[in-house]
Structure 1
Amino acid sequence: MERLISPRVTKEIVKKHGFRFTKSLGQNFLVDENILYKIIDGAEVDKEDMVIEVGPGIGTLTQGVAERAGKVVAVEIDKTLIPILAETLGEQENVEVINADILKIDIHKLIKEKSEGRPVKVIANLPYYVTTPIIMKFLEEKVPIQNIVVMIQKEVADRMQAQPNTKDYGALSVAVQYYCEPEIVARVPKTVFIPQPKIESTVIRLKVLKEPRVKVADEKMLFAVVKAAFGKRRKTLLNALSNSSLNIDKETIKKMLESSGIEEKRRGETLTIEEFAKLADTLCAHI
């Protein structure tokens, strides 16, 4: 099979199969070899690894990953792409394609059945509308993976790696950095896709930490506090937390902030993950 990364080959395959791009699935096929290998290099894939690829499209990235990995499991939601993948990846003996919605799959079971004990890495060119749910599924379910390397909307990648006291810092920043060490791998222009998207993209590597960045008594409380703090960014922590789904009265919130050593007039965007953890633990201990 010819190299799929070529714009000519991609167009020929799309035309041959009469494939129609589905806007609702955010389908944009990569046609730039430089970016393709930045994704694969960023994931540090080798023959010892199993790679789960989310959204293989016509198999362009899959083909490159299969050259390096011991096994590739490609999960594609669009059933119209399955016969195309059977053709484009038919010669790749270490590739298995699954027609399914990654958000509905038991990933722990998938890894147990397919990995044969190999280290597992995740690679994806994600549809922008499901970026956060897919990434958080892998992280929140504590799937045993080493890293996630994804091509996503630039603004989302910027939020994932943002630090306190910046405009991009928010609940997503805290959630991702609680589980991972994020690092930008490459900025991606619109011109490397067919069809061209309207937005700029970024390849980001999320190196999954062996243990969460901070220890907390209750993760649900931590993320409830984070959500409340960023729910009304303009409000002080005292007002944001006391007017939230936490259902804790203002006086109690005031005492808990004081006990945590956090000034009540600060805003959520100024707190580090460690400070959020301390506040969550203080609330847990007194409620």
Structure 2
Amino acid sequence: MRLLGRTEIRHLAKEIDFRPRKSFGQNFVHDANTVRRIVSASSVNRHDHVLEVGPGLGSLTLALLDRGARVTAVEIDPVLARQLPITVAEHSHSEINRLTVFNRDILHVTHDELPDEPTALVANLPYNVAVPALLHLLSEFPSIRTVMVMVQAEVAERLAAEPGGKDYGVPSAKVRFFGNVRRYGMVSPTVFWPIPRVYSGLVRIDRYETSPWPTDKEFRQRVFNLIDIGFAQRRKTSRNAFAEWAGSGNESASRLLAASIDPSRRGETLSIADFVRLLQRSDEDEESEPVEPKPVVHHRNRDTAPAG
């Protein structure tokens, strides 16, 4: 299939009188080699149903369809959402049957809106919503086994950072609740139109085949709450950071020690396994605490005269 190049993208934008909007983070890839690199790194094939976020003018969409995958593209811009099926049809009439387009904000898309469960997420994520969109989709679609996204280089470094590193933070820990994270290199600003002021980075996430911990919504939200607490003040020791959650400094230290975590460690050194273990051991301790018996109060029968 013939992919979109720089000249064709500019011509298409002019044809539909389209100007990229900063509010939507619109920067479109026009380099065929970069697009093929993303699709190849995603490992998608004809058995996959790919969820693509922000397809824009269709560069990545065409490459995904060329691999034989079914694609559901979610585009917030109504002009681009209307144009995408037209562009795909012009490049290959046979591929249009495997494309579904939704004109929606990805942050509000739920699993019951899609006709089929997606197995992969491949996207050039808008910089301004990259992390919220990624966490929302991993939570909403447990069927997604593989993620390959292009994000701002700084965000890519944060997502893939290891505990204790300078870039390790809330996004680093939360994405690891779902799976393993790897960097797949940098992408030059020159492959985009308009040219952004920053480099981009590729990140791949492979969901755990068997999750090491519960994945239900309530448990996930409680773990994420602990992560937020742990990183709220990076210079605090874990003992002090979790004091309000645990009830007191001593109680906080006791809970951390029960989870095999040194209370003097800082939140940015804790792995996702540490946060999960802290929550689980705290729950176990609360369940095992003996219930104090209520004192028995003897009431004198007012209708009976005192013994004399």
TM-superposition CA deviations, 1:149-188 (whole Å, max 9, x none): 1110111111111111111112211111121111222310
2:22 and 2:238 mapped to 1: Cα distance? 40
Task: Tell me the residue number matched to 1:101.
Answer: 105
- Give 1:277 shift: 2.0
2:60 and 2:103 mapped to 1: Cα distance? 17
1:124 and 1:37 mapped to 2: Cα distance? 13
The residue matched to 2:176 in structure 1 has which SS?
Answer: helix
* Contact 1:39/1:149, CA 8 A, preserved across alignment: yes
Task: Tell me the residue number matched to 2:129.
Answer: 130
Which stretch of structure 1 is more off in the superposition, 45-54 or 88-97?
88-97
Scaled by the length of structure 1, what TM-score is found? 0.90
The residue matched to 1:89 in structure 2 has which SS?
Answer: helix
1:248 and 1:212 mapped to 2: Cα distance? 30
Matches of residues 31-180 of structure 1 in structure 2 within 5 Å? 31-90=30-89, 91=93, 92-93=95-96, 94-110=98-114, 113-114=115-116, 120-180=119-179
Letter of the structure 2 residue corresponding to residue 157 of structure 1: A
1:203 and 1:16 mapped to 2: Cα distance? 31
Q: Which structure is larger by alpha-carbon Rg, 1 or 2?
A: 2
The residue matched to 1:206 in structure 2 has which SS?
Answer: strand
1:50 and 1:199 mapped to 2: Cα distance? 31
How many residue pairs were aligned? Answer: 279
Task: Tell me the residue number matched to 1:260.
Answer: 259
- Give 1:2 shift: 5.5
The residue matched to 1:196 in structure 2 has which SS?
Answer: coil
* Contact 2:181/2:206, CA 8 A, preserved across alignment: yes
Letter of the structure 1 residue corresponding to residue 3 of structure 2: R
Letter of the structure 1 residue corresponding to residue 237 of structure 2: T
Task: Tell me the residue number matched to 1:241.
Answer: 242
- Give 1:283 shift: 1.9
Sort the Cα spacing of 1:185 and 1:108 in 2 relative to 1 into closer, same or farther, 3 A: farther
Sort the Cα spacing of 1:82 and 1:33 in 2 relative to 1 into closer, same or farther, 3 A: same
* Contact 2:179/2:208, CA 8 A, preserved across alignment: yes
- Give 1:143 shift: 2.5
The residue matched to 1:168 in structure 2 has which SS?
Answer: coil
- Give 1:221 shift: 3.0
Sort the Cα spacing of 1:162 and 1:84 in 2 relative to 1 into closer, same or farther, 3 A: same
Matches of residues 211-230 of structure 1 in structure 2 within 5 Å? 211-214=210-213, 218-230=219-231
1:201 and 1:150 mapped to 2: Cα distance? 10
Sort the Cα spacing of 1:36 and 1:250 in 2 relative to 1 into closer, same or farther, 3 A: same
* Contact 2:146/2:204, CA 8 A, preserved across alignment: yes
1:180 and 1:19 mapped to 2: Cα distance? 38
Letter of the structure 2 residue corresponding to residue 207 of structure 1: D
1:215 and 1:2 mapped to 2: Cα distance? 44
Sort the Cα spacing of 1:189 and 1:213 in 2 relative to 1 into closer, same or farther, 3 A: farther
The residue matched to 1:239 in structure 2 has which SS?
Answer: helix
* Contact 1:3/1:9, CA 8 A, preserved across alignment: no
Which stretch of structure 1 is more off in the superposition, 220-229 or 9-18?
220-229
* Contact 1:218/1:284, CA 8 A, preserved across alignment: no
The residue matched to 1:178 in structure 2 has which SS?
Answer: coil
* Contact 2:57/2:84, CA 8 A, preserved across alignment: yes
Sort the Cα spacing of 1:163 and 1:213 in 2 relative to 1 into closer, same or farther, 3 A: farther
2:136 and 2:222 mapped to 1: Cα distance? 18
- Give 1:230 shift: 0.8
- Give 1:32 shift: 1.1
Task: Tell me the residue number matched to 2:3.
Answer: 3
Sort the Cα spacing of 1:100 and 1:36 in 2 relative to 1 into closer, same or farther, 3 A: same
Task: Tell me the residue number matched to 2:301.
Answer: none
2:250 is the alignment partner of 1:251: yes
Matches of residues 14-33 of structure 1 in structure 2 within 5 Å? 14-33=13-32
2:52 and 2:16 mapped to 1: Cα distance? 22
* Contact 1:214/1:273, CA 8 A, preserved across alignment: no
* Contact 1:218/1:281, CA 8 A, preserved across alignment: no
* Contact 2:50/2:121, CA 8 A, preserved across alignment: yes
Q: Percent identity?
A: 34
Which stretch of structure 1 is more off in the superposition, 138-147 or 13-22?
138-147
* Contact 2:85/2:99, CA 8 A, preserved across alignment: no
